[in-house]
Structure 1
């Protein structure tokens, strides 16, 4: 019997800690998935079947950058990988040419199944976590993010990353599909956890604690 070729995947993310966490989570499925490491500048240097585009990515990425990413022959079929399962954002990303919108709370088994479905040519959008059955959801111990070691939730960390990069509260709300009041609430809770009171202190904390990219992601044509 001919052995079926493994699905070749890559994660486009500018933080090594996130890449390491996902790779460790998927290691038990190495007979079904082949992980392709990114190049030294963050480019997808070898052809893959599926690229996960982490929504934690740099805010400077434009629609033109995304179009180049989707058109790049090395990236294969590209899906959004996110903590923010907003239906309007999912519809917008599919309209832009992405072929999936996958929730980071998916279990490893669910994520593998979704990636294989995408590789087969399907468009996959995760169901809300409350509707999933039969699998244990991914936990923070399985998939981490910058600031997790300080008790920050994924959303608090995302907000701090964007603050460190100089975005205003309004910019953060628009990018994250949150209300301005929700953004302020995340900021207050994050500030309490990292022991700061002002935005300038939060920016300094972010710079000192890895909230900026480990490398610059290259979106090649």
Structure 2
């Protein structure tokens, strides 16, 4: 009897330990299909993994794009972007910079695993359904225990890194009014009334405020 093929080894890449741990925990429910390698967020992905799942939480604009390009150039692993933002322009840019796939966080865990297996088999996969099709939140993020939704948490993370409302809107491909709505909701949940209070709360609750720190 032939030995079944080894499942692809997956590393999750993000500056936030809670993000890495949350996605790793979700993928760990499917050991027969993927083997999760949970890396320290301050070390680069190594070449003994087959796929790097590049989570874009709080990696806005040129910084995130530059990191993706550098990662694709320096790693033998296949790079798959995992993001809430599925704007076609971002998808095309990621693929042109060497990504082997672009996956929406609206995917179920089962579909995410299927997509990763397909990438491992040599396919280029783009899955960008509407967030409304999500069966449950994917992975984890800072602020979740305080009741922050994933988008509210991402907006708060960018506030903590010093971005203006306009810069956040451009980074996340949202309208300024949508950004303001997310901010109001986040402030209400964390008990903040001013930006300085929100930044202090972020510092005290595991948000990274260094815009220049990456794992490369």
Asked if the contact 1:191–1:197 (Cα under 8 Å) also holds between the matched residues in 2, the reply is yes
Contact 2:58 2:158 in 1 (8 A): no
- Pairing 1:202–2:208 present: no
CA gap 1:47/1:217 in 2 versus in 1, 3 angstroms: farther
Q: Distance in 1 between matches of 2:96 and 2:116?
A: 19
Relative distance call for 1:101 and 1:170 in structure 2 (3 A) is same
Aligned residue among 194, 214, 217 for 2:214: 217
TM-score (norm 1): 0.86
Q: CA deviation at 1:9?
A: 0.9
Question: Residue 200 of structure 1: SS of its match in structure 2?
Answer: helix
Judging changes above 3 Å, is the alpha-carbon distance between structure 1 residues 115 and 178 closer, same or farther for their aligned structure 2 residues?
same
Q: Using a 3 Å threshold, how does the CA distance of structure 1 residues 131 and 171 change in structure 2: closer, same or farther?
A: closer
Distance 1:55 1:94 in 2: 14
CA deviation after TM superposition for structure 1 residue 63, in Å: 4.0
Aligned to 1:160: 156
**Misfit runs of 4+, over 6 Å:** none
Q: How many residues align?
A: 212
Deviates more, 1:103-112 or 1:151-160: 103-112
- 1:118 match: 119
**Higher RCO (C-alpha 8 Å, min separation 6):** 1
Structure-1 separation of matches of 2:44 and 2:171:
23
Rate the CA distance shift 1:131–1:119 in 2: closer, same or farther, 3 A.
farther
Q: Which of residues 67, 70, 77 in structure 2 aligns to 1:68?
A: 70
Q: TM-score, normalised by structure 2?
A: 0.88
Mind listing any 5+ residue stretches in structure 2 that lack a counterpart? none
Instruction: Specify every segment of 5 or more residues in structure 1 that has no aligned partner in the other structure, as ranges.
Output: none
